[in-house]
A and B are shown apart, each in its own frame.
Chain A
Amino acid sequence: MSEHHDEKLRELLREALPPVAESEVNRDLWPQMLRRFDQQKLRLSWFDWVLVAALMIWLWFFPEATAALLYQL
Chain B
Amino acid sequence: MCIERDSGEQPRELLERFALGDLEAFEALFQGCHRDVYKWIVRIVRDSAVAEELTLETFWRIHRARARFDPARSFGAWARRIATNLALDHLKTVRSELMPLETPARDPSGGMMADPVRQGEIRQRVAHALHQLPAKLRVAVILALIEEEPYERIAAALGISIGAVKSRVFRAVRKLREELKRAGIEP
Q: Which A residues are within 8 Å of any B CB, using their own CB?
A: 1, 5-6, 8-10, 12-21, 23-27, 29-30, 32-33, 36
Contacts and interface: CB of A to CB of B under 8 A. Distances in A.
B77 interface: no
Contacts of A29: 30, 34, 38, 52, 55-56
B176 A16 contact: no
B187 interface: yes
Interface in B146-184: 146-148, 173, 176-177, 180
A45 to B, nearest CB: 15
How many residues of B sit at the interface, in one of the four size bands? 35 or more
User: Chain B contact residues: over half helix, strand or loop, or mixed?
Assistant: helix
Contact of A9 (B51, B142, B176): B176
A21 B56 contact: no
28 contacts: A9-B145, A9-B173, A9-B177, A12-B123, A13-B126, A13-B146, A14-B145, A14-B146, A16-B124, A16-B130, A17-B46, A17-B130, A17-B146, A19-B43, A20-B43, A21-B43, A23-B39, A23-B42, A23-B43, A24-B38, A25-B34, A25-B35, A25-B55, A26-B52, A29-B30, A29-B34, A30-B31, A32-B56
B30 A33 contact: yes
Contacts of B38: 23-25, 29
A16 to B, nearest CB: 4
Nearest to A4: B187
A19 B148 CA distance: 9
B91 interface: no
B56 A19 contact: no
Given A6-B173, A15-B119, A20-B46, 6 more contacts: A12-B180, A13-B141, A13-B145, A19-B148, A24-B39, A25-B52
Contacts of B123: 12, 15-16
Nearest to B185: A12
A21 B147 contact: yes
Interface in B45-82: 46, 48, 51-52, 55-56, 59-60
A9 B35 CA distance: 31
